[in-house]
């Protein structure tokens, strides 16, 4: 049963990434770039450090992705920044006007993909799934922090 959860969660993630990669292939955007743009669309401004925390990935990965998005003129720093600042990852990032227009399309596609994922699932099943996944997420944080589950 445990293998089933891991395989299923990984498969859902990969299928969603493939779907989004295909949808935005002509724009030359990866799923990582799409998710970062979507987060900036929702939150308006986030630092690379905060993006890394939200996405549960390392800061160097986020730095590579945000650098690509800056080069594509889709995101920029919230203020004029000293490019030599060794703490550049702590400065806020936001969507450019071009990025905002694209992020609106991304938001629609993400909403569509979530609606398709939820197809045929009742509200009761959705609530049960949320509760189970939140418990698993909390357990994963505990394992990450403590190497074990506390207070079971």
pLDDT at 81: 53
Which helix (H) or strand (E) is 21 found in, with range? helix 2-23
Model confidence pLDDT, tens digit, residues 81-121: 555 555 555 678 999 999 999 999 999 988 988 888 889 99
Separation of CA 32 from chain center: 7
pLDDT at 55: 84
Parts of the chain with a pLDDT under 70:
1, 80-90, 148-152
pLDDT at 127: 92
Please say whether the beta carbons of 54 and 46 come within 8 A. Answer: yes
Cβ burial of 91 (10 Å; 0-12, 13-18, 19+) is middle
């Amino acid at each position: 049963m445990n293998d089933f959860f891991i395989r299923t969660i990984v498969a859902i993630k990969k299928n969603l990434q493939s779907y989004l990669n295909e949808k935005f292939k002509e724009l030359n955007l990866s799923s990582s770039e799409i998710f970062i743009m979507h987060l900036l669309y929702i939150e308006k401004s986030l630092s690379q450090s905060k993006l890394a925390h939200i996405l549960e990935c390392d800061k160097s990965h986020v730095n590579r992705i945000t650098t690509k998005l800056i080069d594509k003129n889709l995101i920029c720093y919230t203020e004029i920044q000293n490019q030599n600042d060794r703490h550049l990852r702590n400065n806020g990032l936001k969507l450019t006007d071009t990025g905002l227009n694209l992020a609106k399309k991304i938001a629609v596609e993400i909403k569509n993909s979530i609606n398709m994922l939820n197809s045929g699932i009742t509200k009761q099943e959705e609530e049960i799934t949320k509760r189970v996944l939140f418990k698993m997420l909390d357990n994963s944080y505990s394992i990450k922090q403590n190497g074990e589950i506390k207070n079971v």
